[in-house]
Structure 1
Amino acid sequence: MHTWSDTLRFAFQPVVNLTTGVVAGLETLARPETGDILAEARRDPELDRGLAVSAIRAAVRKESLLPLHVNVFAGTLADLGGLPRLDGAVRESGRMPWEITLDIVPPYTHVPHQALLAAVAALREQGFRISADGVGDGDVPLRLLIDMAPDLVKLDASLLVRSPAVRAMRTLCDEMGALLCVEGVETELQYAAAISAGAQLAQGELFAPPSRLAAAEVYVPPRRPGGGAAPRSGPPVREFVRPAALLPATASAGQVRMILTGSPEVSGVLLIDGRGVPVRSVHRSRFLLSMSGRYGHALYADRPAFKLGDPPRTVGVDATAWEVLDVLAVGDRSRAADDVAVVDRHGRCVGVVRLADLVRALAESRVEEAAGLNPLTRLPGSDAITGEVDRRIADGRTFALSWLDVDHFKQVNDGAGFAAGDDLIRAVGRTLQDTASGSTRVGHIGGDDFLVLADPEGLDPMASSVLDAPWSAAGRPVTLSLATVLCTPGSVTDHREAAACLAPLKQAAKSLRGASWVLGRAGLPGHEVRRGAEPAAAPARWAVAEPGRA
């Protein structure tokens, strides 16, 4: 008697890392030869669970070392309280749960949310990664999405025409600690839009169609200059994670050699303990050099690979690219090019990052940043500051945004000459830079206008440094005006609203005599004058009688 498994085949579609251009995983897609088994699985939780197990076993038969994405209906998880016996099936296949991402697909309507959340928590405890599929085009409630706190959120490419919505989803993903993936990318225009909107992963026909053979290489269009600039604090390491080649700590040197010789793209193997924690790192070149020496194979093939490895270098999944470089800079210089293992909060390996990927991305970000520097002061322009303002708003941080300029600067240029004016601007910029500390950011937005983004406790030192200094241009005394708006969480929605709050404060500061400083609070009326004197009363106008009139 034939069963559904007799006519079922699986295809694999790559999930592509948009930063590195490499395959980050494979989504397994059921391809029945007859009938609509997916419609049946939607109604039958046990059938859906069986499909998930079959998908994992199918990938093993293809001998793919890449992480897997396996689809499962939200209703199945709620009905079964998770996926019973999946953990055992995964380990029997030679995999680990943290190599499997469960794509939870709609519908969510009529699914008991508490039962679903309990099932997700149980699967996450076993080590499985969780993906929310069909977000934005399905029926997943926003509150449920936040409560699920998935590791990955998948959006349909049709939403790219609404790029502000996709960027908002990227912000939400950052808050949840999730990656954003765009599905169904078919054109280079969609690819560019996905990068511009901040997506880190993508899949679709553009890169590679679903195939019976797991693809390790895909087509990735060339990146356009200026796309996806990283924040100055460093792009998150999650954007550079590659799949790791993992073996148990008890693996022999012969097993490691089989992986390295059979997969040229693998630069090293991580040996992990039963919990998935890296305990040894085996580097390709050093390992194969040891094995290729005289009697090397005879000496090492059956011995534990552990003896030919090095202590692993690890970083947390929330680290930045700069922190990875700090890890590589410490210790033996011969290991500077080793892969760095990325671990989750439990210490389990979720992938590796390579030095070449980090250096390339950081170099590109520095070039883009340099292109935006003001040529006079070498300070960043408004885009860098406003971008950081938006990040602090998204993070729910209190901050102070200040606008500083030179009083009557046109008169300075007209009276002392533009060279003296340029010298003054450079001196003000240097003073602001010298005073900046911690998270303070200084920008030169053109002419004599500067922006300063700081924490509230950094305001007084900054104000004193620029307002108390005896400024002059070619011997002519000069004063400065400073306006500050203090923004608390929820008081502004973006940098445009913060700038709108700042504009009237600047006008108030410019109306005062001498060095001035006006402080206001976003969302509240009025302002506080911290420096400066009220303008003198205008002289009275006396009427003069015209000749011939009384």
Structure 2
Amino acid sequence: MAPRTDSLRFAFQPVVNLTTSAVAALEILARPEAGDIVAEARRDPELDGRLAAFAVRAAARQETLLPLHVNVFAATVADLGGLAVLRDAVREVGRLPWEITVDLGPPFTHVPHAALLEAVDVLRRDGFRICADGVGDGDLPLRLLVDLAPELVKLDASLLAREAAVRAMRTWCEHSGALLAVEGVETERQCAVARAAGAQLAQGELFAPPTRRPVADVYVPAQAPGQAAAVRSGPPVRQFVRPAVLLPVSASAGQVRELLIGSPEVSGVILVDAGGRPVRAVDRDRFLLPLSGRYGHALYADRPAVRLADAPRTVGADATAWEVLDVVADGAPRRSGDDVAVLDPDGRCVGVVRLADVVRALSESRVEEAAGLNPLTRLPGSDAVTREVDRWIGQGRHFALSWLDVDDFKQVNDGAGFAAGDELIRSVGGALQWAASGSTRVGHIGGDDFLVLAEPGALDALAAAVLDLPWSAGGRPVTLSLATVDCPPGGVHDHQQAAACLAPLKRAAKSLRGMSWVLGRAGVPGHRIRRGTGGAPAGAGCGTGGRDVD
């Protein structure tokens, strides 16, 4: 073994968080000075496993606190099961398994899938995180990707030329709870496309090349105005998770002080139990203050650090930025700037979020949301609602999409005047917004058209809120038309198909007299008239068919 590895060196490349511009982790890359040991490792699982162990030890010599990404061929994991040699190296250097992400690389074609999935389960039970590496430029079957359920997906930068594919992968990642990264980013244009497509992480020569020593400073292009995602429920917390600095709960105050003094960029330390679950949290400033006094070091250095720590503030990895603010708001004012620990489903700390990052993200999302609001009703436009439709489809949710408008609105404007027409639109929008509860989304498309996304159980209340009222403009009675398409899981594949299913229902509702409501089901011919009279029979759904009148 020695002759093949004595000239082996390792380089470190940062994995960058595109939201916070901070280094989220380090990928360790083998750099042989002679020969091609990586090609040998492709054919020799035992050698590949040892390379992974060497990589962890090389990172330990650099004394980095950042999480690590270790490259392993998929065939190696399938052949060696739980990768005991890697597990031993992680234990030997004092790292925790959940600080290590195993980047599974191609080829996958001749790897026994059952053995690979069993081995991944072993790694995951030990606490390691799994990344599907090189997606888009390798031979990873989509079905295997789904079965692997990785915590991280790394896309090859070549896919950035096909932005729709990146967006589709982001939708899948959001549905499965994975993060999306793009590797091999070399230009600012590629970085902008990655951001626009929803990637949370990236790495490549643009940010920092692989170096013998880990770098702390990386170049991250500023986010252009208009790029921030406007998600009404708030950006997901995993979008701006920073690496956590973890120490065992038994650590002394002296050990914590030494770490903080040697790492000025560290804002706090999470003290964890043997399972990686937070027990106490150390804030840098509050911790160092008592130790900086005349007798502080003598009094506290040998005492347990938990005596100078606080109860940890925590959120789940599936939380939103608003939930982080709720956690901060519930605590004492003196702790308003503390880091918040992010926990995986097993309660282990996978990182921290800082209040400044959360506030910045929410401010950007609010600016974007405000820019998209209709100036008359202050309701979001169709883009916000259709984005939410696509998200619900990706989550496999059952939903109903409704369209509402004022009958003969041009005549209303001509007869009562535009001021009365504007007041009517504001009132209808207000009634819809008042009736919206829970996850219901109301959008003002423009003019007298409104779009409503809701769960099917909320339809009757929404309909009653607008159809039971006697509307008028300038003393002239006004009626409304409502059309709804019911979309069960799998009924439509995107918001465009849902809109296509809604179109014939709109025509059917407009053909009725009085307050009208027509209800159809995606993919099913026909429709039901819930309110209104008269009108010609019309097809509905995504096909054609007769009318089923209740």
* TM-superposed deviation, 1:86: 2.2
Q: Could you tell me how far apart the structure 1 residues matched to 2:230 and 2:126 are? A: 33
Instruction: Answer yes or no: is the 8 Å Cα contact 2:77–2:83 preserved in 1.
Output: yes
SS where residue 425 of structure 1 aligns?
Answer: helix
* TM-superposed deviation, 1:535: 4.8
Q: Could you tell me how far apart the structure 2 residues matched to 1:49 and 1:155 are? A: 24
Q: Could you tell me how far apart the structure 1 residues matched to 2:205 and 2:85 are? A: 33
**1:224 is matched with which residue?**
224
Q: Could you tell me how far apart the structure 2 residues matched to 1:2 and 1:156 are? A: 33
Q: Could you tell me how far apart the structure 1 residues matched to 2:376 and 2:2 are? A: 77
Q: Could you tell me how far apart the structure 1 residues matched to 2:147 and 2:430 are? A: 47
Instruction: Answer yes or no: is the 8 Å Cα contact 1:52–1:70 preserved in 2.
Output: yes
Give a deviation string over 1:256-296, Cα, whole Å, max 9, x none: 11211111111001111111111111100001111111201
**2:240 is matched with which residue?**
240
- Cα distance, 1:535–1:140 mapped onto 2, change above 3 Å: closer
The amino acid of 1:34's aligned partner reads A
**1:4 is matched with which residue?**
4
The amino acid of 1:208's aligned partner reads A
TM normalised by structure 1 equals: 0.96
Q: Could you tell me how far apart the structure 1 residues matched to 2:331 and 2:474 are? A: 53
* TM-superposed deviation, 1:175: 2.2
**2:104 is matched with which residue?**
104
Instruction: Answer yes or no: is the 8 Å Cα contact 2:230–2:368 preserved in 1.
Output: no
Q: Could you tell me how far apart the structure 2 residues matched to 1:312 and 1:152 are? A: 26
Instruction: Answer yes or no: is the 8 Å Cα contact 2:242–2:353 preserved in 1.
Output: yes
**2:425 is matched with which residue?**
425
**2:286 is matched with which residue?**
286
More deviation in 221-230 or 15-24?
Answer: 221-230
Q: Could you tell me how far apart the structure 2 residues matched to 1:434 and 1:374 are? A: 17
Instruction: Answer yes or no: is the 8 Å Cα contact 2:13–2:209 preserved in 1.
Output: yes
The alignment status of 1:327 with 2:327, answered yes or no, reads: yes
The amino acid of 1:224's aligned partner reads A
The alignment status of 1:131 with 2:131, answered yes or no, reads: yes
**1:397 is matched with which residue?**
397
Instruction: Answer yes or no: is the 8 Å Cα contact 2:237–2:319 preserved in 1.
Output: yes
Note the 1:169-318 alignment, pairs <5 A. Answer: 169-318=169-318
Instruction: Answer yes or no: is the 8 Å Cα contact 2:228–2:364 preserved in 1.
Output: no
**1:434 is matched with which residue?**
434
Structure 1: segments with no counterpart, 5+ residues = 537-550
The amino acid of 1:175's aligned partner reads H
* TM-superposed deviation, 1:2: 5.4
Q: Could you tell me how far apart the structure 1 residues matched to 2:2 and 2:169 are? A: 45
SS where residue 527 of structure 1 aligns?
Answer: strand
**2:142 is matched with which residue?**
142
The amino acid of 2:194's aligned partner reads A
**1:534 is matched with which residue?**
534
Q: Could you tell me how far apart the structure 1 residues matched to 2:493 and 2:190 are? A: 28
Q: Could you tell me how far apart the structure 2 residues matched to 1:227 and 1:361 are? A: 12
Give a deviation string over 1:327-381, Cα, whole Å, max 9, x none: 1111211111100111111111111110000000001000100010100111111
Count the aligned residue pairs: 536
Structure 2: segments with no counterpart, 5+ residues = 537-550
Give a deviation string over 1:398-417, Cα, whole Å, max 9, x none: 11111111111111111111
Instruction: Answer yes or no: is the 8 Å Cα contact 1:405–1:480 preserved in 2.
Output: yes
The amino acid of 2:507's aligned partner reads Q
Q: Could you tell me how far apart the structure 2 residues matched to 1:216 and 1:304 are? A: 30
The amino acid of 2:177's aligned partner reads G
Instruction: Answer yes or no: is the 8 Å Cα contact 1:517–1:531 preserved in 2.
Output: yes
TM normalised by structure 2 equals: 0.96
The amino acid of 1:170's aligned partner reads R
Query: 4+ residue runs of structure 1 moved beyond 6 angstroms?
Result: none
* TM-superposed deviation, 1:55: 0.4
Instruction: Answer yes or no: is the 8 Å Cα contact 1:76–1:82 preserved in 2.
Output: no
* TM-superposed deviation, 1:18: 0.8
Q: Could you tell me how far apart the structure 2 residues matched to 1:440 and 1:298 are? A: 59
The alignment status of 1:525 with 2:530, answered yes or no, reads: no
* TM-superposed deviation, 1:428: 0.7
**1:548 is matched with which residue?**
none
Give a deviation string over 1:211-263, Cα, whole Å, max 9, x none: 00101221000001121414211211111110111111111111111211111
The amino acid of 1:388's aligned partner reads E
**1:375 is matched with which residue?**
375
**1:491 is matched with which residue?**
491
Bigger-Rg structure (1/2): 1
Q: Could you tell me how far apart the structure 2 residues matched to 1:3 and 1:281 are? A: 46
Q: Could you tell me how far apart the structure 1 residues matched to 2:463 and 2:79 are? A: 62
Give a deviation string over 1:296-325, Cα, whole Å, max 9, x none: 111111221111111111111111111111
Instruction: Answer yes or no: is the 8 Å Cα contact 1:317–1:344 preserved in 2.
Output: yes
* TM-superposed deviation, 1:513: 1.1
The amino acid of 1:294's aligned partner reads R
Q: Could you tell me how far apart the structure 2 residues matched to 1:331 and 1:20 are? A: 24
Q: Could you tell me how far apart the structure 2 residues matched to 1:512 and 1:174 are? A: 41
Q: Could you tell me how far apart the structure 1 residues matched to 2:37 and 2:246 are? A: 33
- Cα distance, 1:145–1:252 mapped onto 2, change above 3 Å: same
**2:155 is matched with which residue?**
155
The alignment status of 1:68 with 2:68, answered yes or no, reads: yes
SS where residue 524 of structure 2 aligns?
Answer: coil
Q: Could you tell me how far apart the structure 2 residues matched to 1:42 and 1:228 are? A: 41
What is the RMSD of the two structures over their aligned residues, measured on CA atoms?
Answer: 1.2
**1:120 is matched with which residue?**
120
Instruction: Answer yes or no: is the 8 Å Cα contact 1:243–1:350 preserved in 2.
Output: yes
Q: Could you tell me how far apart the structure 2 residues matched to 1:381 and 1:477 are? A: 27
Q: Could you tell me how far apart the structure 2 residues matched to 1:328 and 1:511 are? A: 53
Q: Could you tell me how far apart the structure 2 residues matched to 1:297 and 1:268 are? A: 19
The amino acid of 1:300's aligned partner reads Y
Give a deviation string over 1:483-502, Cα, whole Å, max 9, x none: 11111111111111111111
Instruction: Answer yes or no: is the 8 Å Cα contact 1:251–1:304 preserved in 2.
Output: yes
Q: Could you tell me how far apart the structure 2 residues matched to 1:520 and 1:109 are? A: 45
**1:468 is matched with which residue?**
468
Instruction: Answer yes or no: is the 8 Å Cα contact 1:198–1:228 preserved in 2.
Output: no
User: What percentage of residue pairs aligned between the two structures are identical?
Assistant: 75
More deviation in 30-39 or 82-91?
Answer: 82-91
Q: Could you tell me how far apart the structure 1 residues matched to 2:286 and 2:34 are? A: 51
Q: Could you tell me how far apart the structure 1 residues matched to 2:66 and 2:230 are? A: 27
Q: Could you tell me how far apart the structure 2 residues matched to 1:94 and 1:19 are? A: 30
The amino acid of 1:53's aligned partner reads A
Instruction: Answer yes or no: is the 8 Å Cα contact 2:230–2:369 preserved in 1.
Output: no
Q: Could you tell me how far apart the structure 2 residues matched to 1:187 and 1:471 are? A: 56
SS where residue 520 of structure 2 aligns?
Answer: strand
Q: Could you tell me how far apart the structure 2 residues matched to 1:115 and 1:90 are? A: 23
The amino acid of 1:299's aligned partner reads L
The amino acid of 1:427's aligned partner reads S
**1:43 is matched with which residue?**
43
SS where residue 485 of structure 1 aligns?
Answer: strand
Q: Could you tell me how far apart the structure 1 residues matched to 2:535 and 2:297 are? A: 89
SS where residue 225 of structure 1 aligns?
Answer: coil
The amino acid of 2:432's aligned partner reads L
Q: Could you tell me how far apart the structure 1 residues matched to 2:212 and 2:325 are? A: 39
